Structure 1
Amino acid sequence: MCGIIGIVSHNAVSQELYDGLTVLQHRGQDAAGIVTSDGRHLSLRRKNGLVKDAFRTSSHMRKLKGNMGIGHVRYPTAGSSSQAEAQPFYVNSPYGISLAHNGNLTNSTDLKQELFDADRRHINTESDSEVLLNVFAQELHRLNSYRVTPDDIFEAVAGVHKRCTGAYSVVAMITRDGIVGFRDPNGIRPLIYGSRKTEQGTDYMIASESTALVTQGYTIERDIEPGEAIYITADGKVHAKQCATDPKYVTCLFEYVYFARPDSVMDNVFVHKARMRMGHKLAEKVQNEWKDHDIDVIIPIPDTSRTSALEMAMTLGVSYREGFIKNRYIGRTFIMPGQKERKKSVRQKLNPIDLEFKGKNVMLVDDSIVRGTTSKEIVQMVRDSGAKNVYFASASPPVRYPNIYGIDMPAASELVAHDRTISEIADELGVDKLIYQDLKDLEDSVTEGNDKLTEFDNSVFTGKYITGEDNAYFEALQIRRADASKQKKVKRSAVDL
């Protein structure tokens, strides 16, 4: 998962790009980068680490000159964690194009070979984002125009749609001309744009989430539609066109469950309200299936599950309490490379308040259960704090299959729910009762906000992938995502640094 942003302004954009990336920091904590243009020259800085680490001094910001630019925050789902794979990427031909990408191309291996053999383009990293940049550049190059036009942009994006499969939300900057934003034909990853009126004229921003816009005074115009491209010229003219032949919404459900900020509006759905509905439906499931429950207290596992847990408690008429203090300087545990590291990190990340657990029947609520490592450690911590019984509720259904569209969920064999019944998962986690959200209830929680969303990417729950990948792809994915492979990449990246 990554966060992307692009701005066309009447003033220098470096500070706004920085501020926007800090708002999107939750979408990627591995690396950050910004590239700006003054119409003639590019200025680029990208580095491993958080936004504040990548741009530590005022000199870093002063060097990023220009009224147009794009930015990116990353955690890697393809390639390695090497600083060389931090985005944005740049290619000189044609026109000078910089690109930042959120998602994952499922045919990147074939595309890389195709670019080498047929297009004579060379890919220098393992990143599928560099592949996507070169596909877009080659599609523009084919048009052989002296100067890029909106029609050229839209024809090139249409070419990308024909060649690329998987998930991709993209911002790209043509050095002299403007900024492009486009979304894959299924709209799996989010992308939105807005405007802000100034004395000099209207500024525009494209970003992964609406919060990046509204926190800087931009008014939301709308979500970019699946398959659509929007082109904002350097002088502030906006052009938009549907570039896919059969676009449809197959939005990722996990965005609403976990990744998006609760204050975001995504495909016209308020994420906070969707999570409230998830908690309400979990409570209804308890009322229907466990009428004589003996829950004394409902406690969220911070942070994402708070909204659902509070709504669940209010619906059931059960006390809600905060039972964990979170260290906010520990990264997300399910993407850490080794099992030992993940277990150690859980204890450093969360510290229980014993008096909230002692002698009580506790219902823990989390947004999801992926590997189960974090959940198992937390359950043991709660028992050590003196809980009488420990129950567990997940705001999403069992995660049984890997994600291939930009969320670095592990190989299927590492998922605690893969090939296990609910009872077996409960035993593995060490809980007295385990409740999962039903898939239909989860989908309804989102569609109540926008009834035009009728189909979702729910592949992590069902194993059904909209791009129809074959067994060979998943066999390769299994190897690539195995813990041993990840640890090798981390070591290799340390050498790069």
Structure 2
Amino acid sequence: MEQLKHECGVAMIRLLKPLEYYEEKYGTWMYGLNKLYLLMEKQHNRGQEGAGLACVKLEANPGEEYMFRERALGSGAITEIFGTVQSNFKDLTKEQLHDAGYAKRVLPFAGEVYMGHLRYSTTGKSGLSYVHPFLRRNNWRAKNLALCGNFNLTNVDEIFARITAIGQHPRKYADTYIMLEQVGHRLDREVERLFNLAEAEGLTGMGITHYIEDHIDLANVLRTSSKEWDGGYVMCGLTGSGETFAVRDPWGIRPAFWYQDDEIAVLASERPVIQTALNVSADRIRELQPGQALLINKAGKLRTVQINKPREVKPCSFERIYFSRGSDMDIYKERKLLGEKLVPNILKAIDKDIDHTVFSFIPNTAEVAFYGMLQGLDDYLNEEKVRQIAALGHNPSHDELERILSRRIRSEKVAIKDIKLRTFIAEGNSRNDLAAHVYDITYGSLVPGTDNLVIIDDSIVRGTTLKQSIIGILDRLGPKKIVIVSSSPQVRYPDYYGIDMAKMSEFIAFKAAIELLKEREMRDVIESAYRKSKEQVSLPKEQMVNYVKEIYAPFTDEEISAKMVELLTPKGTKAQVQIVYQPLEGLHEACPRHRGNWYFSGDYPTPGGVKLLNMAFINYIEQVYQF
């Protein structure tokens, strides 16, 4: 319903055979480039504000370019960057185009190592200079670094202070630049360590270069540079000499999967994209573990290394509910189960009146949860039928049986996501009128004044689309009651690990709790939470406590939902409106391996999350109240 932006998607490819092999077997030396395109397009859901790719040629001669990068902005960025790459080949003869040796010597982006990135800004920073991969150039091939990631750091201020104190000078105050500087600095030290060893062995000239490139250990580089990173991340990198790495945060917040055979090694943010791009089964794809790095050296030897000790593992549950593609077999099952788990609460909301209720979903991500909800409702109705038939005794009439067996769960496609209306009209009322028509409805899909309408969505965060568009347009159908169902729990707290929800004022659940406190003459709860938050500002982040929980503590989930309905129902709505949320227990039962639920529970996996929440709450209170 409300599009949450999510940072980001990554893809890496390391060809393990010479380019001639792929030309001979697949008819093109561009095999790696084509697979990268597929991996990126299949992850388009993860980033539509920009895209970039980097490529490294192995064994280039001195004076020849060996590291290439292309970046673009906008939702068409993937097409644009690959179009630009292909434009380098448009004037070639057919013989040149199929000559892998010629491509290797002469053509840009004709390499063995590729890395791609899809960007969604969650920090408000935009422009081509913020599109990954980032480059750090040097005359030593092994010191060149291209970096990209799916991440957000929560302690940029601390790291910035520390690295500037030792004399480093990042080009921008942004976590990607700071990480580039940190990894680059440690890479420099590693190269210099090996340079000294090579000289001590009496090597000179290119002998030193080859010694460094054959012995470099990126595990050392990653251990020393990543130990302070607080946040969720999958960070990928290439060096000019062909070393490749990906490292995952020790809490396992952000996901990554990898696959290797004798031709290719691949890493991506999602499992099914590897399955599709390479036509391999799920059981052959491995998940990069928390705190682990995937390392591929210049010779193409792959290994995994534990870089940081795993912490309390809390993979992001929003990945399962919303962000990742539903084509993953486990995610598909989990989303169906999320819908099924809601059935008892839905039945309660409609007083079990299934015969006069139409069930539907908000397109498109909630569709899988909708199928799970229907399955659960079918199971309930079948149990009802069994009970009714049993109550008829041993000789029920044909009509009695037919009446019971003809009962059905009524599902319709009620809501339609219409064209993406451009809010180019600046004047307020006209903008709101446009927003009200982002969705359309299927007229005649229910009986006015008689039927309830139950409509499921994956999450309700800000509630703006509900208020401006959904409720008003659904009310035109004339339902007796509209029940809006969220397959996830109430979103109560900001995220600081890569989702664009960072301010307290964005959450309709928070606004509802504040309104309830004011209504019930409980402003002292707000004052107390603010005072305690303010008092811990100077503490180390590891000692900070989430006092925002006290804002929600006096109320049940149902009380907060009821207040949300008041805040979100447009004037003039004729139908009764109710919002039903997934309980936290239901989420954990449906997604048992993904316990990261801080946006619902306030239990942040890292100290930096609590620190940033504390700041957001203080900022909100100081802007709204004068204590």
Q: Give yes or no for TM over 0.5.
A: yes
Distance 1:260 1:404 in 2: 18
What's 2:474 paired with? 382
Distance 1:344 1:34 in 2: 40
What's 1:209 paired with? 270
- In the TM superposition, what are the counterparts of 1:9-158 in structure 2 within 5 Å? 9=15, 10=17, 11-12=29-30, 13-39=32-58, 40=60, 41-52=66-77, 55=80, 58-61=83-86, 62=88, 63-78=108-123, 80-92=125-137, 95-118=143-166, 120-143=167-190, 144-146=193-195, 147=212, 152-158=217-223
The alpha-carbon distance between structure 1 residues 319 and 72, as it changes in their structure 2 partners (threshold 3 A), is: same
Q: Does 1:403 align with 2:495?
A: yes
The alpha-carbon distance between structure 1 residues 395 and 100, as it changes in their structure 2 partners (threshold 3 A), is: same
> Residues 453 and 481 of structure 2 are in contact (CA less than 8 Å); yes or no, is this contact kept in structure 1?
yes
Deviation of the 1:342 alpha carbon: 8.9
Q: Does 1:286 align with 2:346?
A: yes
- Structure with the bigger percentage of helix: 2
Q: Which amino acid aligns with 1:439?
A: L
Q: Which runs of 5+ in 1 are unaligned?
A: 448-452, 485-497
Q: Does 1:425 align with 2:470?
A: no
Deviation of the 1:235 alpha carbon: 3.7
What's 1:230 paired with? 294
- In the TM superposition, what are the counterparts of 1:342-381 in structure 2 within 5 Å? 346-347=435-436, 349-357=438-446, 359=448, 360-376=451-467, 377-381=469-473
Deviation of the 1:60 alpha carbon: 2.8
Q: Which runs of 5+ in 2 are unaligned?
A: 1-6, 18-28, 61-65, 89-107, 196-211, 379-408, 513-559, 570-575
Q: Which amino acid aligns with 2:186?
A: E
Distance 2:55 2:213 in 1: 19
The alpha-carbon distance between structure 1 residues 384 and 134, as it changes in their structure 2 partners (threshold 3 A), is: same
What's 1:258 paired with? 322
What's the TM-score once normalised by structure 2's chain length? 0.68
The alpha-carbon distance between structure 1 residues 151 and 226, as it changes in their structure 2 partners (threshold 3 A), is: farther
Aligned residue for 1:205, secondary structure, equals strand
Q: Which amino acid aligns with 1:437?
A: Q
> Residues 194 and 215 of structure 2 are in contact (CA less than 8 Å); yes or no, is this contact kept in structure 1?
no
What's 1:303 paired with? 364
Q: Which amino acid aligns with 1:112?
A: F
Aligned residue for 1:298, secondary structure, equals strand
Q: Which amino acid aligns with 1:238?
A: L
Q: CA RMSD in A?
A: 3.0
What's 1:437 paired with? 582
Aligned residue for 1:55, secondary structure, equals helix
Aligned residue for 1:131, secondary structure, equals helix
Stretch moving more, 57-66 or 415-424:
57-66
Q: Does 1:3 align with 2:9?
A: yes
Identity %: 25
Q: 1:182 aligns with which of 232, 244, 247?
A: 247
Stretch moving more, 223-232 or 460-469:
460-469
The alpha-carbon distance between structure 1 residues 89 and 477, as it changes in their structure 2 partners (threshold 3 A), is: farther
Q: Does 1:160 align with 2:225?
A: yes
- Higher-Rg member (1/2): 2
- Structure with the bigger percentage of strand: 1
Distance 1:100 1:480 in 2: 31
Q: Which amino acid aligns with 1:6?
A: M
> Residues 235 and 248 of structure 2 are in contact (CA less than 8 Å); yes or no, is this contact kept in structure 1?
yes
What's 1:469 paired with? 608
Q: 1:313 aligns with which of 369, 374, 377?
A: 374
The alpha-carbon distance between structure 1 residues 289 and 353, as it changes in their structure 2 partners (threshold 3 A), is: closer
Aligned residue for 2:147, secondary structure, equals strand
Deviation of the 1:315 alpha carbon: 1.7
Deviation of the 1:48 alpha carbon: 0.9
> Residues 389 and 432 of structure 1 are in contact (CA less than 8 Å); yes or no, is this contact kept in structure 2?
yes
* Number of residues of Structure 1 aligned to a counterpart in Structure 2: 463
> Residues 71 and 81 of structure 2 are in contact (CA less than 8 Å); yes or no, is this contact kept in structure 1?
no
Q: Deviations over 1:26-75 (max 9, x none)?
A: 11111111111112411111111124565267443345331211111111
Q: Deviations over 1:398-433 (max 9, x none)?
A: 001111110111411121111521110122232622
Q: Which amino acid aligns with 1:3?
A: G
The alpha-carbon distance between structure 1 residues 228 and 400, as it changes in their structure 2 partners (threshold 3 A), is: same
Deviation of the 1:288 alpha carbon: 6.2
Deviation of the 1:106 alpha carbon: 0.4
Deviation of the 1:155 alpha carbon: 2.1
> Residues 155 and 608 of structure 2 are in contact (CA less than 8 Å); yes or no, is this contact kept in structure 1?
no
The alpha-carbon distance between structure 1 residues 158 and 391, as it changes in their structure 2 partners (threshold 3 A), is: same
Deviation of the 1:301 alpha carbon: 0.5
What's 2:334 paired with? 274
